[in-house]
Structure 1
């Protein structure tokens, strides 16, 4: 007699464990490759080769190209991973309950924390976006999230303005505290963080007050 479960395919426990083990190894390998690329970006290697990546990640070249279809996909995955981490650093809870000066201070501190942590991948993305559409799309999405943050944090100051005025003001605030502005001040001119915060505080307060 057939049991009521005879129609179901029963996978042996050992086979399930083998599949789980492969999935875990794949996840660890992907993560190692992404972390290696991010470290290399931070060291100034904006186009690291597969050989350099696998040596730093401790994986084989064959494994690398099982995890990613090519280096461009790996670079994009590293960029997206860093963007996800950045969202946590820049988060401001219940900004509507804070006075303007405190919102400005938290907003700027969060952005600079992010820029300091993503400098390498940020430079990579901007360099490669010129001739890599997938990186350009990912970069545009990240920039869109930054603009959304401006609108959320400074919603009281944007309210009551015309749509065009609010859009222009949000864009100006976002540009003042952008990665590009930070990289010019810090990367090119060596401006200390405290001075950057002071310059940006003055500019944002003038725009928003």
Structure 2
């Protein structure tokens, strides 16, 4: 879905009376957020307001007119990323059994992590000084944990040690360690995490 769908306020008034200034304001706001997304995606973890303004082809005053500070701009960017991840979460599983779905979560999250890796790096740089990013991160973590809880059988979801271990293996931190620090390929990373989760489930079943 077009990112602008999440950025622009939806209006029921599509007639000729729609105020042109308001439309231009909405367009500027969307361009600013898109510019921020593009700059971070390209590897700039902390683009300046001046750089965002230049990429969006708007004046610096326009950036601050729409966003009182850079934290609110990061908040808008977070909303777009969250919408993309939620659309993935709503996609039906291919696997028909719970174990297959748990292992499928590795592939699904790996796909998502590959897309959001530049943004996660940027967020970690600014989280200590940004309430918006801290709230965004907590919301994503809680949502991911809830998905895992729904996929697992109730008795396994209630096993704290097992649940926390699987949740850790499915985390962005585990994925980043294998992909970045250990320089593993995408397929190898997926197989290793799936193997570790399978071993945990086998151990629990044998206990």
TM-score, normalization: structure 2?
Answer: 0.81
CA-to-aligned-CA distance 1:116-158 (integer Å, 9 cap, x gap)? 111111111122112323321221111111111111222x2xx
Matches within 5 A, 1:115-134: 115-134=113-132
Matches within 5 A, 1:4-43: 16-17=17-18, 19=19, 21-43=20-42
Q: Which has the larger radius of gyration?
A: 1
Question: Partner of 1:169 in structure 2?
Answer: 162
User: Distance in 2 between the 1:177 and 1:88 partners?
Assistant: 18
Question: Partner of 2:87 in structure 1?
Answer: 88
CA-to-aligned-CA distance 1:75-107 (integer Å, 9 cap, x gap)? 121122112111212434268x71245313421
Matches within 5 A, 1:78-117: 78-93=77-92, 98-117=96-115
Match of 1:160 among 155, 158, 164: 155
Indicate yes or no: 2:139 matched with 1:146: no
Residue 43 of structure 1 and its aligned partner are, at CA, apart by: 2.0
CA RMSD of aligned residues (A): 2.2
User: Distance in 1 between the 2:143 and 2:163 partners?
Assistant: 12
Give the paired residue count.
Answer: 188
The farther-off stretch of 198-207 and 127-136 is 127-136
Query: Is the Cα–Cα contact under 8 Å of residues 168 and 174 in structure 2 kept in the other structure?
Result: yes
User: Distance in 2 between the 1:22 and 1:142 partners?
Assistant: 35
Residue 38 of structure 1 and its aligned partner are, at CA, apart by: 1.5
Residue 204 of structure 1 and its aligned partner are, at CA, apart by: 1.4
Question: Partner of 1:4 in structure 2?
Answer: none
Unpaired runs of 5+ residues, structure 1, are 1-12
User: Distance in 2 between the 1:161 and 1:99 partners?
Assistant: 14
Question: Partner of 1:73 in structure 2?
Answer: 72
Residue 162 of structure 1 and its aligned partner are, at CA, apart by: 8.1
Unpaired runs of 5+ residues, structure 2, are 1-14, 203-207
User: Distance in 2 between the 1:90 and 1:160 partners?
Assistant: 23
User: Distance in 2 between the 1:102 and 1:78 partners?
Assistant: 33
Query: Is the Cα–Cα contact under 8 Å of residues 127 and 133 in structure 2 kept in the other structure?
Result: yes
User: Distance in 2 between the 1:108 and 1:162 partners?
Assistant: 17
